Structure 1
Amino acid sequence: MTLVRELVRTYQAFETFAIPDIRHHGFNPAEFDVLVTLGNTPGMTLTELGDSTLLFKTTLTSVVDRLQKKGLVNRVPCQEDKRRTYASLTPEGERIFEAIFPAHIEHLKSRLGKIPPRQRDRLVKAMRELRSHLEV
């Protein structure tokens, strides 16, 4: 349980540090995740978007709906396969992405950037190894 406890505490510490900055930009974490995932892309299917975000697929539709109502995301049916829908940022969504994403990266770097590169590489390797034991 020591490993699980430390994993949870680490994630909670990350959220405590990162989420206020996301909220400062006017988004909740799920909306921010979709916005930055679609940023700098021509768009992607909702399936691809679900696979690329940290969201449960059941949450994705409502998040995309909210961003669409805010005028930040477009939804376009695929002409070749009516079962597929593409999501992309609107020009306003792109403008917001370009304004807030670099600022958020700088916010993260203010703490995570202090970790020496070799130690950061070891941490990434350890987390990937841990994930490999959890994935089916």
Structure 2
Amino acid sequence: MIKTEERTELSLHLYRVLAKSFKSVNEHAVTGSKIQGFNPTAFAVLEVLYYKGQQPIQQIGAKLLLQSGNVTYVIDKLEAAGYLHRTPCARDRRVIFAELTPQGKALMDRLYPEFGDRIDHALSGLDAAEKETLIALLKKMGREAEKLAPLTRK
């Protein structure tokens, strides 16, 4: 049985490794979005809409861990550029959906394969089985952390 101190130190080490790994991989995504002329937040909004389809604006911010004001600003810019449009919810006037326009979809059809290649390159140190194992472990870790979150928010 592992002692509490050792378990805590192992958890802290895992956290640091996870954070460093994410930072290293994320640099590939950030560099790619900048090369395409977008800031990382704008590209992330486009990616969410491309991958998930129409989304409530409030949920986009939550998915990207952004404040709603930041999301609104980015969505305003993307809408002005013609890449997305807003649609009010028919059942709840407080909810507004964002969705890619045909121009936005065409843009992402062109950019997303390159983005995928960048991420694939960044993760090329793992084989397919290792990626599947890591996905399963990270999902398990995230679900458990999410269950415990209300206990830590006192």
TM-score range, shorter chain: 0.7 to 0.9
Greater gyration radius: 2
Deviation at 1:75, TM superposition (A): 1.2
% same residue = 25
Amino acid at match of 2:137: A
Find 1:55's aligned residue among 49, 65, 68.
65
Q: Equivalents in 2 of 1:131, 1:20: separation in Å?
A: 26
Q: Equivalents in 1 of 2:55, 2:85: separation in Å?
A: 11
TM-score where L is the length of structure 1: 0.83
Does residue 106 of structure 1 match 2:114? no
Which runs of 5 or more structure 1 residues have no equivalent in the other structure? none
Does residue 68 of structure 1 match 2:79? yes
Which runs of 5 or more structure 2 residues have no equivalent in the other structure? 1-11, 150-154
Deviation at 1:34, TM superposition (A): 1.1
Find 2:23's aligned residue among 12, 34, 39.
12
Q: Equivalents in 1 of 2:47, 2:31: separation in Å?
A: 16
Q: Equivalents in 1 of 2:53, 2:26: separation in Å?
A: 29
Deviation at 1:41, TM superposition (A): 5.9
For 2:8, the equivalent position in structure 1 comes to: none
Which structure has greater helix proportion? 2
For 2:32, the equivalent position in structure 1 comes to: 21
